[in-house]
Amino acid sequence: MLLIVVEHAHGAARKSAFELISLGRELAAAGGQRLAALVLGSEPDAVAAEVARFVPEVYTVRDARLEPARAEPWTRAVSHVAQTLEAEVVLVPASRAGMSYAPRVALRLGAAYLEDVSSLGFEGKTVVAQRLRYLARVSTSVAAAPGAAVVSVKPGAAPVAQAAEAGGRVDSLEVPFEPSDERLEVVESQTSAPGVVALEEADVIVCGGRGFGSSEAFEAHVVGLATRLGAGVGATRAVVDAGWRPYGEQIGQTGKTVATTLYLALAVSGAVQHLSGMNRSRVVVAVNKDADAPIFKVADYGIVGDVREVVPALIEALADQG
């Protein structure tokens, strides 16, 4: 069996779940395996019903300890279900949460761990994957030893799946949690409010750099354009270090990795650390007053100009279109 771990928020599966389903379908067909999904949470039914439109077998674990997500309860739940179902491959999104529990699950299962992969397949019965290294400049090929494998998959590594012709079934499972699973307590949690586009879910991202000069200018131009487009808001490390935007919006080597349909880089110079977090976006549009800025080397479309003049013109043009 091939088991997908579904991450979700606000009662809906995250975009990563449908990317994993698309990849899982290909792998299951190639390896002649069953495909199943796992939904964990205090109230997993709505998400499970959504996922069942795409996957023939969906399993839920209902427990208050699973929300908010913490590495130890999720490790217990995922490893127990994988053992119960005799899963040979476990696919996990390479989110911050996924990267925390996936290696622990691999250790519990005695399985190989392939981390942060950009593609995945079978050679015979061997799981092989590609992963990017050195700021995405080098691609390495890795193969799992015979036996089970746990794989964390980069955002955008596969297209979003389409619903299946026939819906799947949903079954519930019990997990024997232990006191050690609650050694960590979440005392405060901040999440994107409903209606705010999270970077991991966004098809369009508007990212701003320190060239705006102030947090007020960033808010007016970057956030203003993102709001008009229904896009996610991203920031460079310099912007986050300056305190203009929260760390959760940082894109790059030390921030988040995104793979969007459209990426607008506004006053972003294009340092290699930033490029490693966004260079898998399909279309990149850059606006920078420096014609020699490195961002133009990766941009599909570029505008040489002052962002504080160009962006208001873009917002006005979008307003005229309704």
What CA–CA distance (Å, rounded) separates 138 from 136?
6
Among 306, 84, 116, residue whose Cα is nearest residue 211:
306
In a domain, 49, yes or no: yes
Predicted pLDDT at 187: 76
User: What's the CATH number where 161 sits?
Assistant: 3.40.50.620
Residue 191 has pLDDT above 60, yes or no: no
Answer whether 212's CB lies under 8 Å from 311's CB. no
In a domain, 197, yes or no: no
Residues 172 and 219 in one domain: no
Alpha carbons within 13 A on the beta-carbon side of 16: 25
In a domain, 128, yes or no: yes
Residues 294 and 151 in one domain: no
Predicted pLDDT at 70: 92
Please compute the mean of the pLDDT values over residues 181-201 and round it to a whole number: 73
Residues 168 and 24 in one domain: yes
Residue 177 has pLDDT above 70, yes or no: yes
Query: Cα dihedral angle (283, 288, 290, 294), rounded to 10 degrees?
Result: -30
Domain count for the chain: 2
Predicted pLDDT at 147: 86
For 33, the domain range is 2-182
Residue 65 has pLDDT above 80, yes or no: yes
Residues 123 and 209 in one domain: no
User: What's the CATH number where 281 sits?
Assistant: 3.40.50.1220
In a domain, 196, yes or no: no
Residue 137 has pLDDT above 90, yes or no: no
What CA–CA distance (Å, rounded) separates 190 from 174?
29
In a domain, 190, yes or no: no
Residues 114 and 236 in one domain: no
Q: pLDDT (tens digit, 9 = 90+) per residue, 273-309?
A: 999 899 889 999 999 999 999 999 999 999 999 999 9
